[in-house]
Amino acid sequence: MQCSNRELVEFFISYKLSQKNHPTSLLRPTNGGQRTERDLAQSLPAYNGIEALKSALLDSGEQFGFLFTQSFRDVASHLSITPDTAQQCFESVMEELFRDGINWGRIIGLFVFGSAMCLDCIDSNMSELVPDIADWMTAYLDDHISLWIQRNGGWDRFTEIFGKGMSTRSSGESLKRWLFVGVALVTGLLVGMLMTD
């Protein structure tokens, strides 16, 4: 089974949309759901544990989001997103998020922020931006993050770090880890956004 960054983005956003009772059909690409050549070219190597990967992505996103989704939504609403400014806003946040480098926590932040931006757009009657945001997330992963992921053990390594097998860690240790990663990300984003105003 192969999995592309696009599949992970759609999986994560679909989950977040369904949590808020929004139709996942908002995410459907204009090409009728067909995978594009770019998606096929960016497919990840066969991964026997694709369900474990998706579960690890959701679990880590939930932990991160539990503490920081509202902050990310506040950042999204602070940006005064319109159809004309949405892509530039997304790119500015990604630039700030990854300014000091790439790590797994920041990659999770990309998923959480992108889905928060989708929800904010839906709440602001701009649901037509949801597939665009998914495109931008996918392109950012493909163009800026994929090589780092490959060099750092691939999605297999992500699953090892954030998957169910790691549940033996104490909840206090996990909370401290997420608190540290999240505070650093949200602080950096807010400071960066305020400095650009």
- Model confidence at 81: pLDDT above 50: yes
- Residue 44's SS3 state is strand
The candidate with the shortest Cα–Cα distance to 60, out of 130, 147, 159, is 159
Residue 3 in 3-state DSSP? Answer: strand
- Tokens read off for 153: 């053990």
The answer to whether residue 16 scores a pLDDT higher than 90 is yes
pLDDT digit string (tens) for 154-181? 999 999 998 875 554 544 455 455 545 5
Domains and CATH numbers, the chain: 5-196 (1.10.437.10)
Under the banding of pLDDT at 50, 70 and 90, the label for residue 27 is confident
pLDDT per position as a tens digit, 87-106: 998 998 899 889 989 999 89
| β partners of residue 44 | 3
Please state, rounded to an integer, the average pLDDT across all residues of the chain. 79
